Structure formats: structure tokens, C-alpha cells
Amino acid sequence: MPKESKIPNPTIKRLAVYSRPLEILLESKLPVISSEKLAGLCGVNPAQVRKDLAYFGEFGIRGVGYDVRHLLNAIKGILATDREWALCLVGIGHLGSSLVQSENFKKRGYIVKAAFDSDARKVGKKLACGLTIQSASCISQTVRKLGIEIGLITTPPHEAQRAAHLLQEGGIGAILNFTTIQIRARKKCFVENADLSVKFENLVYHLEQLDKI
Amino acid sequence: MPKESKIPNPTIKRLAVYSRPLEILLESKLPVISSEKLAGLCGVNPAQVRKDLAYFGEFGIRGVGYDVRHLLNAIKGILATDREWALCLVGIGHLGSSLVQSENFKKRGYIVKAAFDSDARKVGKKLACGLTIQSASCISQTVRKLGIEIGLITTPPHEAQRAAHLLQEGGIGAILNFTTIQIRARKKCFVENADLSVKFENLVYHLEQLDKI
């Protein structure tokens, strides 16, 4: 295995994309897939697939293809998705509620251990998943006590930085920020932004461009 | 204005990010901001901000900064977010429901005009926003009739490709795909993937790397 810190971020993101059709192929009991077919299923070109996978050693057999089970397990090992991760959510509005209830995340090993909100009317309410909404003032303590590793922020924008601060006080390792605000974090905490409205703006820009053709 | 089709996609994505603090600054009646401060609020470096904005002409005054209102309006014009866009959703589960109800999207001019599901038990139900869930078999006809421009797919993965097909039959211009499956689309339709579990896998990979330091 090479020095993983040198692997470019786009490669890491594509590995997750490659794993999706591999999961389906494994369920369908297909043992082998060519880089051309895998690339086709993922909407990238075959050379890219080969280049990305080459970072991690030799998975393919020339003229035959990749062993589906072997490749999927290797990707899961690289991405560290072969284990469970403890999550919490801050901000239980529409989006927060839907994420707490996501069967897709649960199936992938992302287990929501706690849910927080700063609205006193929500605190104490029981969610369908069995968790009780806790006050945002308990964030640091609960994160530390339960060993929560990832925090999702789905608060209104003006509450996001405070939520990030409390999560870090509890020793959280990573934050997925769904708000429209960029949050500041310490070096030891990895932050990924998932502001969906940015996706929309990219989309409508391209729509305008298509109209002009 | 230069030929916009030559502007790199990462620049387009960052423009949306730049617009977020500008909106807040405008509300706070701050007239001017330096590229250093804007960069700090967005978590990028000042040279990047200046380079990105240079694609679109001269917004800055050397030694003073950018006129907040002028820059925000210009970005909105470039991204085509200065108008309303008609949306529909296919798949009204947890995530779909939360997106239909998003005040943030509505505020930004993304108006949900129709909601579809293939589950007969959901069809005919009225959503909090006033829309009634329609059968997936009505997708093409409704998209065409209402002039819907953007389709969001929040179905189970195995229904995603069919949903994409029906949306395109209705003449949709862009699709935002939240499922774990990559969908195929015609050249005239722009597809953006927003599979949230891919974000998670990127996050846990980096968490593992942090642990190793």
C-alpha cells in the first residue's frame, strides 16, 4: 500500500462512486467486471478507473477484469467503510429529521447516536428512530461520553459556527456542514461542506449554457 | 464578458460559495469587502478569489475591495440565480419530503411545482406545501405542461434510471440525482450527482488519515 496521504481527493471521491455498482454486481453474483464496464456504470472513462485503482496496487487481471468481491472489499478497506461510525446531528428540522431516519446511511454503517436542537420546544421529543432530542447545550458532553466521531450540522446558518465549536469541544473528528455558511474548524477536525443550494447554482448555470447552444 | 463556456467548473462552484457571505454582508449594510476578508469567510485563499472573479471582468478597486451589492448581483447574473426556476421531485420519502419543504430553496427562487411517487399509497396525498403527490406515470406529461426545468430524483436506487428517462421525455433540462446510482442522460440534459453517502465516505477516509498522524 502506498502513502495514502498522497492520493488525490478526487480519486477518493471516485472510489466511493465505483463501490456503488460493485455492491449491486456482488448481489447479482457477477464475479468479474472489466474496467470498461465499471467505467460505463460510473460515468467516467476506463483510463480514469485504471489510474485511480492503480494507486492501491494491482486489482485487475489483464484481459479479464477485476474480481468484484476483492475490489469492493479493498475499496471499503481504503475508505474505512468496513466498520461502523458514530454520528450525531445538530439541528432537527426537515433535513435533519430525514437524515436521522435514512436507512441508506444505517445500512452503510453510519449510526446516529444523538440528536440535538437549540429549540426548547423540540428538546425531549422522541424521534421515530428511538432517540430523544437533546438540548444543544449537551453537545460537548454527549459527544465525548458516547465517543461520537462525526457531526452533521443542519441548523439555521447563524447557529452553525456555534454548533461546530461545541462539537469540537467534545473532541469530534469530522463535521459535515449542510448550512450555507462556511465554518471554521481546528486543524484536527476535518470539515466537508454539503450545502445543497450550491449544487443547485451549479445546475442552473449549466442550464443557461445549454440554452445558449 | 468572456466566453462563459470556458470558465472551469470549480470556479462556477466557488462563485456560489462566495455569494453566501456577500448576502449576509449586504443585509448588514457593509458596502465594501476586501478579497482577503471574502476569502477568509469562504475558506479559500485570496489569490483564488481574485483569479475566479477575474474571469468575469473587473469588480474590485485596488486597495479598497469589492462593492458588495455590485459583486453579488454580478455573481447572481452569471449563475442565473437572479430568476425563478421550476422544479419537480420524484420519490417522496424522508429526503424528498424534506427538500419539498425547504424554505432555503424557496427563498433562492427554486420553486417546487410537482411531486411524484410510484407508490400508489402515496399518490393523491397532500403535502404541507399544498402540492398533491402525483403518480410517476404522469411525470413526462406534467413536466412538459408546467415547463419544469429541473428534476430532483430521491427514489430508491433501482427506480432512478426510469425516473430520469421519464423526466427527459418531458423535456427536462437538468437533473439532480440523490441516489447511489449513476444515471445515464442524453447530451441535452445536464446531470449532477448529489449522493450524500459519497460525502460520508470521503469524510471517514480523512478521519482515518487524521488518526494516523
Q: Which of B79, B111, B137 is the last residue of a domain?
A: B79
Report A:60-89 residues touching B (Cβ under 8 A).
78-81, 85
If one compares B176 and B187, the residue with the highest pLDDT of the two is: B176
The whole-chain average pLDDT of chain A stands at 88
Contact criterion met (CB < 8 Å) for A207 and B200: no
Closest partner residue to B98 among A19, A94, A199, by Cβ?
A94
A176 lies in some domain: yes
Report A:8-67 residues touching B (Cβ under 8 A).
9, 12-13, 15-17, 19-21, 41-43
Report B:148-167 residues touching A (Cβ under 8 A).
149-150, 157
Q: Which of the four pLDDT bands, split at 50, 70 and 90, describes residue A144?
A: very high
B166 lies in some domain: yes
Contact criterion met (CB < 8 Å) for A204 and B95: no
Q: Which of the four pLDDT bands, split at 50, 70 and 90, describes residue B5?
A: low
B95 lies in some domain: yes
Contact criterion met (CB < 8 Å) for B94 and A98: yes
Select the highest-mean-pLDDT range: A147-151, B66-70, B92-96.
A147-151
Report A:109-128 residues touching B (Cβ under 8 A).
110
**Least confident interval from A134-138, A196-200, B113-117:** A196-200
pLDDT (tens digit per residue) in A71-119: 999 898 888 888 899 999 999 998 999 998 888 788 888 999 999 999 9
Contact criterion met (CB < 8 Å) for B16 and A202: yes
Q: Which residue has the cell 481527493?
A: A9
- Determine the pLDDT at residue B2: 45
Contacts 24+ apart (CB under 8 A), A19-24: A19/A72, A19/A75, A19/A76, A19/A79, A19/A81, A19/B201, A20/B157, A20/B180, A20/B181, A20/B182, A20/B195, A21/B181, A21/B182, A22/A68, A22/A71, A22/A72, A22/A75, A23/A72
Closest partner residue to B198 among A17, A98, A207, by Cβ?
A17
- Mutate: best of A203, A206, A207, A213, partner B, most B CBs <10 A: A203
Same domain, B60 and B161: no
Domain, as residue range, for A11: 4-79
- Determine the pLDDT at residue A210: 67
Same domain, A105 and A182: yes
Q: Chain B within 8 Å of A4 (Cβ-Cβ)?
A: yes
B123 lies in some domain: yes
A86: closest CA of chain B, how far (Å): 11
What does the DSSP assignment read for chain B? Answer: ---GGGS-HHHHHHHHHHHHHHHHHHHTT--EE-HHHHHHHHTS-HHHHHHHHHTT---EETTTEEEHHHHHHHHHHHHT-SS-EEEEEE--SHHHHHHHT-HHHHHTTEEEEEEEES-TTTTTPBPTTSPBEEEGGGHHHHHHHHT--EEEE-S-HHHHHHHHHHHHHTT--EEEE-SSSPPP--TTSEEEE--HHHHHHHHHHHHHHHHH-
Contact residues, chain B, for A184 at CB < 8 Å:
43
Same domain, A89 and A69: no
Residue A28 neighbours by CB under 8 Å, 6+ apart: none
Instruction: Give the mean pLDDT of B56-80.
Output: 83
Q: Which of the four pLDDT bands, split at 50, 70 and 90, describes residue B78?
A: confident
* CB-CB contact of B79 with B162 (8 Å): no
Same domain, B185 and B100: yes
Same domain, B101 and B192: yes
Tell me the ipTM for this assembly: 0.75
Contact residues, chain A, for B197 at CB < 8 Å:
16, 104-105, 108, 110
- Determine the pLDDT at residue A63: 76
Contact criterion met (CB < 8 Å) for A190 and B200: no
Q: Which of A48, A79, A110 is the last residue of a domain?
A: A79
- Determine the pLDDT at residue B43: 81
pLDDT over 90 at B163, yes or no: yes
- pTM comes to 0.80
The whole-chain average pLDDT of chain B stands at 88
- Determine the pLDDT at residue A30: 87
B85: closest CA of chain A, how far (Å): 8
Q: Chain B within 8 Å of A185 (Cβ-Cβ)?
A: no
Contact residues, chain B, for A9 at CB < 8 Å:
202
- Determine the pLDDT at residue B4: 47
Contact criterion met (CB < 8 Å) for B190 and A206: yes
CATH at residue B151:
3.40.50.720
- Determine the pLDDT at residue B6: 73
Closest partner residue to A150 among B101, B108, B203, by Cβ?
B203
- Mutate: best of B3, B203, B208, B209, partner A, most A CBs <10 A: B203
The tally of domains found in chain A comes to 2
C-alpha cell at B209: 488519515
Same domain, B123 and B144: yes
Q: Which of the four pLDDT bands, split at 50, 70 and 90, describes residue A212?
A: low
B67 lies in some domain: yes
Nearest CA in chain B to A175: B203
Contact residues, chain B, for A16 at CB < 8 Å:
197-198, 201-202
Residue A186 neighbours by CB under 8 Å, 6+ apart: A168
pLDDT over 50 at B197, yes or no: yes
* CB-CB contact of A148 with A176 (8 Å): no
Contact residues, chain B, for A20 at CB < 8 Å:
157, 180-182, 195
Same domain, A42 and A113: no
A180 lies in some domain: yes
